[in-house]
Amino acid sequence: MSHYVIRLDDACPTMNHANWNRMECLLDKYSIRPIVGVIPENQDPDFAWKNDKSFWERVHFWQEKGWSIAVHGLHHRMHEHEPGKGYYQKSHGKHTEFAGVPYEEQLAMLKEGTQILKAHGITPESFFAPAHTYDANTIKALKLISDIKYVSDGYALQAYRKDGMIFIPSICDGPFVMPFGLYTYVFHPSVMTEAAFVRLEKFLQANSFKVTDVDRAMERIRRNQGISGHLIENSIYAARGFRLMRKTRRKKK
Ligand SMILES: [Zn+2]
């Protein structure tokens, strides 16, 4: 049987509050406890809705409800990075906040991000990087941040341990109905369309009994990514590369 974890990205004081309210109501209706990625100190101009002064109280409330709070980067401000070079998970992405940044600097960024949340009374228990891009130094640094129990990322059909860190895999955005395995379906509430909300509600109507939380997702942890994980990582990387190539060719025509 398959299980699904819901993840919400890019929570910050200037997120799209109407959409986030809608998402929260929807998840409450089905008693779902998602992972929510909070940007400690947002500097991304894409999130420029009204500033909510009570934002941190809201995050506190989420934590009380059992939502799993993740440190989502530090500023969500990206620099360019050569795709395919040194990423921890294979990616064609050109933008990153962490990859390529020296280890000491990454450690300082992660400490700062965690501290900002803690200063607001929040205890984050996981991390995931903006744009899914980070490197081995990110994992090395994360292991020194005592509250961080897992990373929401990676390719596999079950939670796994790699380099001393637990990964709850996030293969695709979804939501899709799958025959078996564990899937994290990622949503960006601030920019979700009406159609995306309707699709999610329909999915939950039929499948909410298969939606789990991170504690249950971590009950069974593989010792490593496994052959299936490597296969999925390479297949998705190849498929995305092929799609990118076709897109670039079409642009040139
Ligand atoms: Zn993000």
**Domain of 55: which CATH number?**
3.20.20.370
Ligand 1 centroid–CA 252 distance in Å is 30
Ligand 1 centroid–CA 46 distance in Å is 10
Ligand 1 centroid–CA 130 distance in Å is 4
Q: Which pairs from 81-87 meet CB under 8 Å and 24+ separation?
A: 81/133, 86/135, 86/136, 87/133, 87/134, 87/135
Ligand 1 centroid–CA 131 distance in Å is 6
Q: Give the pLDDT confidence score for residue 54 in this predicted structure.
A: 97
Q: Quote the number of domains for the chain.
A: 1
- Give residues with Cβ within 8 angstroms of 137, minimum separation 6: 98, 101, 102, 103, 106
Ligand 1 centroid–CA 253 distance in Å is 32
pLDDT beyond 80 at 252: no
Ligand 1 centroid–CA 100 distance in Å is 18
pLDDT beyond 90 at 113: yes
pLDDT in tens, 41-67: 999 999 999 999 999 999 999 999 999
Which domain covers residue 182, as residue numbers? 2-252
pLDDT beyond 90 at 92: no
Ligand 1 centroid–CA 71 distance in Å is 10
Q: Are 30 and 204 in contact (CB under 8 A)?
A: yes
Whole-number percent of the chain with pLDDT over 70: 99
Q: Give the pLDDT confidence score for residue 238 in this predicted structure.
A: 81
pLDDT in tens, 137-155: 999 999 999 899 999 999 9
At 247, phi and psi to the nearest 5? -60, -45
Ligand 1 centroid–CA 17 distance in Å is 16
pLDDT beyond 70 at 74: yes
Ligand 1 centroid–CA 44 distance in Å is 9
pLDDT beyond 90 at 73: yes
Give strand pairing partners of 8. Answer: 36, 187
Ligand 1 centroid–CA 39 distance in Å is 8
Ligand 1 centroid–CA 47 distance in Å is 10
Ligand 1 centroid–CA 92 distance in Å is 16
Q: Give the pLDDT confidence score for residue 241 in this predicted structure.
A: 80
